[in-house]
Amino acid sequence: MIRTVALGLLAATALTGSALAQDAADNKLKVGLMFTLSGPAAVLGEQGRDGFMLAVETMGGKLGGLETEITTVDDELKPDIAANKARELVERDDADFVVGPIFSNILMAIAKPVTDGGAFLISPNAGTSNFAGAECNANLFVSSYQNDQVHEVLGKYAEDTGYKRLFLLAPNYQAGKDSLAGFKRSYKGEVVNEIYTPLGQLDFSAELAQIAAEQPDAVFTFMPGGMGVNLVKQYRQAGLDNIPFLSAFTVDETTLPAQQDAAVGFFGGANWAPDMDNEQSKAFVAAYEEKYGSVPGTYAMQAYDAAQMIDSAIKAAGGDLSDKDALRAGLKAADFLSLRGDFSIGDNHYPIQDFYLVKVAKRDDGKYQTQIEQKIFDDYQDNYAADCKMQ
């Protein structure tokens, strides 16, 4: 009889251990990363990917205490390809969370397949106005900003500084138009010229001649990537140093390695910079530079915080990935120490945070980075949040 009971206990123990092992396997967290990792814009996506992976490494390879499996895909900056890959991440790879992308046209393409497929989408960079407002989505969260806000930083700075006459310059596509509209939301002075250049233009001699002729109080431009690299170099070469250069996504840690001395002293806008004075940010910058050999920009920082958002949400849900309501509440609570300091998530699932005027500097080690010059907005929520009627 004793032997029978003992065998029964052993069998029960074996079954219980087997069930626990199966439960642990079933509760593995699966995350899909979608970034632009090829072509001229790959440096932005690489920073996003590397920032996220550094966070996971820092947390011991786990998010929310769960074993974490990460699948990384290249959206190729092509919306149709991105939509298909997003569908595969959710339907084939069973991703619980998809983190990405960098570009707004890709966000527009992947939001529906990801969230309709039952996963949460965390955007670590793109933050379109529609998803901040009327088309807000219960399963879409943003760890960066609403796109207009960085441009508004420079408009507010220009207004507060007393610049009376501004020259505006941006590429002729939706993001360029949104950029200048965002700038003008904060700036009420005279716009002496507003020029939209062909997307991808690399020779700005005609526009620089117009700036020289107009002699505005300052120039504001949104000119990302290679366009910004060339514009900054040509601006210096044209001898326009006496006219303040204000920009968004034109001088940052992805363009500075190519712009170098030509960008020193030029202004940008951001929600963070590598010289942010808090312990968590200092540790992040040091770890990133040691691991990747380059200075992290906001793309890396925001992706790092996206990982922290997921980690905190899973902990809030007690590790139960099936409890979508608890995960959603955890994401909204954002109970973690952001690298940027003050940070919360608004009812539209976009951040409420501080924004800064930043200035390009050359460090003692010869590397270039943006540095915080002054705070422009405190606990700033985007202008579209009131249009969000989250169900």
pLDDT, tens digit, for every residue of 359-376? 999 999 999 999 999 999
Q: How confident is the model at residue 288 (pLDDT cuts 50, 70, 90)?
A: very high
Question: What is the spatial distance between Cα 154 and Cα 223, in angstroms, rounded to a whole number?
Answer: 14
**Hey, what amino acid is at 220?**
F
Query: What pLDDT does residue 8 have?
Result: 38
pLDDT tens-digit profile of 44-67? 999 999 999 999 999 999 999 999
Choosing from 270, 290, 311, the residue where a domain stops is 270
Q: Is the pLDDT of residue 293 over 60?
A: yes
Examine the domain organization and report whether 106 and 175 are in the same domain: no
Q: Is the pLDDT of residue 387 over 90?
A: yes
Q: Is the pLDDT of residue 4 over 90?
A: no
Do the strands 29-35 and 190-197 form a parallel or antiparallel pair, or are they unpaired? unpaired
Mean pLDDT of the chain: 93
Range of the domain at 313: 28-145+277-349
Examine the domain organization and report whether 104 and 152 are in the same domain: no
**Structural domain includes residue 17:** no
Q: Based on the structure, what is the number of domains in the chain?
A: 2
Q: Is the pLDDT of residue 14 over 90?
A: no
Find out whether 294 and 257 touch, Cβ atoms under 8 Å: yes
Looking up residue 229, the CATH number of its domain turns out to be 3.40.50.2300
Query: What tokens does 347 get?
Result: 């009812």
Share above pLDDT 90 across residues of the chain, in percent, rounded to a whole number: 88
Examine the domain organization and report whether 283 and 184 are in the same domain: no
Residue 142's CB is within 10 A of a number of other CB atoms, namely 28
Question: What is the spatial distance between Cα 40 and Cα 30, in angstroms, rounded to a whole number?
Answer: 29
Examine the domain organization and report whether 292 and 330 are in the same domain: yes
Query: What pLDDT does residue 63 have?
Result: 98
**Hey, what amino acid is at 262?**
A
Choosing from 246, 270, 294, the residue where a domain stops is 270
pLDDT tens-digit profile of 63-109? 999 999 999 999 999 999 999 999 999 999 999 999 999 999 999 99
Examine the domain organization and report whether 133 and 175 are in the same domain: no
Share above pLDDT 70 across residues of the chain, in percent, rounded to a whole number: 93
Choosing from 218, 245, 270, the residue where a domain stops is 270
Examine the domain organization and report whether 182 and 325 are in the same domain: no
Question: What is the spatial distance between Cα 272 and Cα 234, in angstroms, rounded to a whole number?
Answer: 27
Find out whether 370 and 274 touch, Cβ atoms under 8 Å: yes
Q: How confident is the model at residue 18 (pLDDT cuts 50, 70, 90)?
A: very low
Query: What pLDDT does residue 19 have?
Result: 37
Average confidence (pLDDT) over 229-249: 97
Question: What is the spatial distance between Cα 31 and Cα 93, in angstroms, rounded to a whole number?
Answer: 9
Query: What pTM did the predictor assign?
Result: 0.91
Buried/exposed code over 171-196 (b: 16+ C-beta within 10 A; e: otherwise):
beeebbebbbebbbebbebeebbebe
Examine the domain organization and report whether 295 and 330 are in the same domain: yes
Query: What pLDDT does residue 304 have?
Result: 98
Examine the domain organization and report whether 155 and 140 are in the same domain: no
**Structural domain includes residue 376:** no
Q: How confident is the model at residue 26 (pLDDT cuts 50, 70, 90)?
A: low
**Structural domain includes residue 20:** no
Query: What pLDDT does residue 390 have?
Result: 82
**Structural domain includes residue 3:** no
